Amino acid sequence: MDLRAELLKSIWYAFTALDVEKSGKVSKSQLKVLSHNLYTVLCIPHDPVALEEHFRDDDDGPVSSQGYMPYLNKYILDKVEEGAFVKENFDELCWTLTAKKNYKPDRNGNSVVSHQDAFKLWCLFNFLSEDKYPLVMVPDEVEYLLKKICTAMNVELNSCELEDYLSQEPQGQGGLTVWQFLDMVNSGRFLRGIEQEAISMAVEEVYQEVIEDGYLWKKGQLRRNWSERWFMLKPSALSYYMSEERKEKKGSITLDKNCCVEVLPDRDGKRCMFCVKTSSRTYEMSASDTRQRQEWTLAIQTAIRLQAEGKKSLHKDLKQKRREQREQREQRKAAKEEETQRLKQLQEEKERKLQELELLKEAQRQAEILLQEEEQRRRQQHEEMQRTLEIQLQEAEQARASMQAEMVLKEAEAERQRKRILELEDMQERLQEALQQEVKARQDEEAVRYAQARLLAEEEEKLKQLMKLKEEQEEYIIRTQREKQVLKQEMESKNKCLEEAQKQLEEVRVNRQRVDQDVMVAQRKLRQASTNVKHWNVQMNRLMHPIGPGDKRTNVSGGVFGGYQPLLSRRDSSLK
């Protein structure tokens, strides 16, 4: 943190103190007075013309902090020279303006720290606060400052109680303002049981340590006498003054990489001695006690190291390191939170995947149940189809049995037809015998002429009967052919049904080969029976031709009844 940033922190408090209405703006007359005082404490030559020109009365009204910054930078901060003014006087000016409005100690005088100690704590707060406005000091720096004060009093700070206090404050986690910090210190919560004087000494010690100045005894170069001087340590030089007001500077020790610090033994009535060796001279000094000597020697050695490294202040360097450590912790915390969030997301994703897996498992179980139900339904359908096919097969077998029974009946009918044919053949043989007898009876034809008429009548009657029998035979043959055709169609339809049933049965059950073989055997038998029926039909067709008398011989006399004349003649002769 450079000088400009340090000065801006204190000026910010002074500006906000003048903002009575908390509108972010200050009247020009107040800013004029503030600027004049800043000229004085910063030892800058006054520029009345610029001051009057910039803050002349007009109708613009109050000025905001952004409107005041150009003048502040150009006419004040750009002209500030480090070491040309007393920083403590500048801080006291800003503290006086802001404390009058914001600092509220106990009216009964029960405050833990005095007004001067509050001012020093305010300076320490400005040094340790963050470079962001409004100014706050993060909890780590609050703990660091309280630990420094408690260590100066040989008291241990209760960190747990501090954490509880910060957690109870509405803005404690983000940081404390200086007024919240002073109220916390004045509450005595962390410094209970300690006298105000001890607290004041501890605050003074921490203030001198952080600001890096204090009283030391210095041995003169010419007169070699010991004089008490107010020393102020910077990374580039160790300056000493007549008093802590730093109005009269007595000298300065330039620090570089060739300088060193050595501890000296006690002599000349002085104790806790040490010296600073430069390339041109050795400076002997004496501290009030061993602890102070150790702090000064360590601080000077650190300043020499910082000067070699191009840095400006030990406590500023430590503050920067603490800030970097905080940032690293915040980054680690953020990374950890991010990792936790990522793990949480992964866990949620895992739970979601598990839920999806459970849903998939449940869907799979439902699908298996549906598949089982579908399989059971298909099995039932298969069983029903199998039962249906078995019923159809039984019906086909019954039809085959009925067909076989019909075939038996038809065979019996064919047997009767054969017998009838035999009878007809026998009748034919008798007719042939009668024809032979007719040849023999021609001679008796004349004798039996009268009987011939009677016989002719009888013959006509027999012929009518024969014609009637022939017609009946033809009708019977036609009816038999029709029945055979119907039976053949029924057999073909049954064969088709049987083949369709066989195909369906082969699709449903491959293992029903034995039944299929039986069906094939039945088909072969049916085909054999059909062949036999066809054969018998051929035979019957051949046998069913009407047989007329004299078909086997040629009648000389002609006519159907010519052969009967000899027979009639014989009958007539016998009658005579």
Q: Report d(CA 291, CA 287) in Å as an integer.
A: 9
Spatial CB neighbours of 210, under 8 Å, sequence gap ≥ 6: 124, 127, 148, 315
Q: What is the pLDDT of residue 235?
A: 66
Q: What is the pLDDT of residue 560?
A: 37
**pLDDT at 256 > cutoff 70:** yes
Provide mean pLDDT across the span 262-274: 86
Q: What is the pLDDT of residue 206?
A: 77
Better pLDDT: 213 or 461: 461
Asked whether 258 and 336 are in contact (CB, 8 A), the reply is no
The 10 Å CB-count burial string (b at 16+, else e) for 235-251 is bebbbbbeeeebeeeee
Which residue, chain included where needed, has tokens 């039962």?
387
Q: Report d(CA 105, CA 107) in Å as an integer.
A: 6
**pLDDT at 20 > cutoff 50:** yes
**pLDDT at 440 > cutoff 80:** yes
Task: Tell me which architecture the domain covering 88-313 has in CATH.
Answer: Roll (2.30)
**DSSP code string of 452-520:** HHHHHHHHHHHHHHHHHHHHHHHHHHHHHHHHHHHHHHHHHHHHHHHHHHHHHHHHH-TT-HHHHHHHH
Provide mean pLDDT across the span 381-398: 89
Asked whether 216 and 130 are in contact (CB, 8 A), the reply is no
Provide mean pLDDT across the span 495-506: 78
Q: What is the pLDDT of residue 555?
A: 41
Q: Report d(CA 254, CA 306) in Å as an integer.
A: 13
Mean pLDDT in the chain? Answer: 79
CA 325 to chain CA centroid, Å, is 36
Q: Report d(CA 136, CA 147) in Å as an integer.
A: 18
For 235, list phi and psi in degrees, rounded to 5: -60, -25
**DSSP code string of 223-234:** S--EEEEEEEE-
C-alpha neighbours within 13 Å on the C-beta side of residue 336: 6
Q: Report d(CA 191, CA 184) in Å as an integer.
A: 10
Q: Report d(CA 187, CA 104) in Å as an integer.
A: 12
C-alpha torsion sign, points 316, 318, 321, 323: negative
CA distances from 275 to 213, 217, 227, 306 (A): 17, 11, 15, 19
Residue 276 burial (CB count, 10 A): 22
Kindly report, residue by residue over 188-235, the tens digit of the pLDDT.
777 766 777 888 888 887 777 666 566 677 887 777 788 888 888 776
Better pLDDT: 337 or 111: 337
**pLDDT at 491 > cutoff 80:** yes
| Highest mean pLDDT out of 158-162, 462-466, 559-563 | 462-466
First-to-last C-alpha distance (Å) of the chain: 185
Better pLDDT: 485 or 573: 485
Q: Report d(CA 46, CA 76) in Å as an integer.
A: 10
**pLDDT at 563 > cutoff 50:** no
Q: What is the pLDDT of residue 564?
A: 38
Please name which of 473, 461, 459, 427 lies closest in space to residue 559, comparing C-alpha atoms. Answer: 459
Q: DSSP character for 75?
A: I
Q: Report d(CA 314, CA 407) in Å as an integer.
A: 131
Q: What is the pLDDT of residue 576?
A: 40
Please tell me the least confidently modeled range out of 332-336, 485-489, 534-538, 572-576. Answer: 572-576
Rg (CA), the chain: 72
Which residue, chain included where needed, has tokens 């040989």?
154
User: SS3 for 249?
Assistant: strand
